[in-house]
Amino acid sequence: MSLLRDLIHAGGTGGLNWHVHAHYSRKRWQPTVQLIEQFLAQVEPQSDHLLLMGGSAGWMMPFSWLARFKRIDAYDIDPLAAWLFNLRHGKYLTSTGVTVVHHREDALSRLPEILQAHPHACLWFDNVLGQHRYRIRDEARVERELNELKTTLRGRSWGSLHDVLSGPTDGRLLPAGLNVWTHHVTAKESTDAAFAQRLLASVGAKDVWQDHLTLKVFAPHTPTTWLPWSFKANYWHWLQAGWQCA
C-alpha cells in the first residue's frame, strides 16, 4: 500500500503525478531549463563526484552539468526516479563515461550518513528543499532544518535550486531564453520585502502565494540567481539558485 502511494505521490513531492505533469510541460519549462543551464555553467564544483539530491528523472537537469562529473550518486524517495532518470539521461551519460548510482533514500534525514559515506563529493539539491514543508508539516521544524543545512554542509562545495514562492498568476507567458527575467542578488538582499513584491508583480501574481520557507538556506553573503518557472500556465514559481564553495 505504501509503495503504491509512493509510486503515485512520493511524499506529495514527486511520483507519477509529477512525472506526467513534467512530461507534458517540457515545452513550457524549456526557458527555465535554459536559465538553470546558464547558472550551472558558471559553477566550479571542486570535485568530480556529485551527490544529486532529489534529482527525480532530471526533467529540468541539463546534460552539460551531469557530464562534468565522473561519478554521480543520486538520492530520491520516489520509486520511479531511478528508472526514469536512466531512461532520459542513461545512454548519454554512459557514452560520456559518467557512472550513476541510484539510492532510494531520504536525502535530508540521512544527510549526515550520506556525507560520511562520501567525504570528498560536492552536492546539488535539485529543486528539493522547497518541498520539505510539504512532507514535514511543522513550519518551525522545517525552517530550523533548512537553516541548519549550511552548518551541516560546512567544508563542502554545495549548491541548491529551490522554490521560494509559488502561486496563481494572470496567465502571462514566459518569453523563451530571456535573461531579463533573472535577478542576481545576495541571499541577504533576497529577503527584502520590496524585492519580493517586484518578483510577484513581474509575473502577474494574484491571490495567495505559498512561502516555501527556503529564504535562509544560503548564508547571507551568498550570490544567488532568481529564476521564474511557469509550473502551469497560470501557476508560477520563483526559484532561487546558489552555490557555496568549500
Ligand X SMILES: C[S@@+](CC[C@H](N)C(=O)[O-])C[C@H]1O[C@@H](n2cnc3c(N)ncnc32)[C@H](O)[C@@H]1O
CB closer to ligand X, 57 vs 149: 57
Q: Which string of b and e fits 206-245 if b means at least 16 CB within 10 Å?
A: eeebeebbbbbbbeeebebbbbbbbbeeeebbbbbbbbbe
d(CA 204, CA 107): 34
Cβ 193 to ligand X, closest distance in Å? 26
- Using a 10 angstrom Cβ sphere, with 0-12 exposed, 13-18 middle and 19 or more buried, the burial of residue 89 is buried
Q: Under the phi-then-psi rule, with left for phi > 0, alpha for psi from -120 to 50, and beta for the rest, what region is 53?
A: beta
Cβ 138 to ligand X, closest distance in Å? 15
Is 37 a residue that touches ligand X (CB under 6 A)? no
DSSP 69: -
Q: Which of 35, 40, 51, 57 binds ligand X (CB under 6 A)?
A: 57
| C-alpha cell read off for 27 | 515545452
Cβ 135 to ligand X, closest distance in Å? 6
Q: Which of 75, 158, 218, 243 binds ligand X (CB under 6 A)?
A: 75
Cβ 93 to ligand X, closest distance in Å? 15
Span interacting with ligand X, options 39-47, 70-78, 147-155, 206-214, rule CB under 6 A: 70-78
> In the complex, which residues of this chain contact ligand X (CB under 6 A)?
10-11, 13-14, 18, 54-61, 75-78, 81, 106-108, 126-128, 131, 135
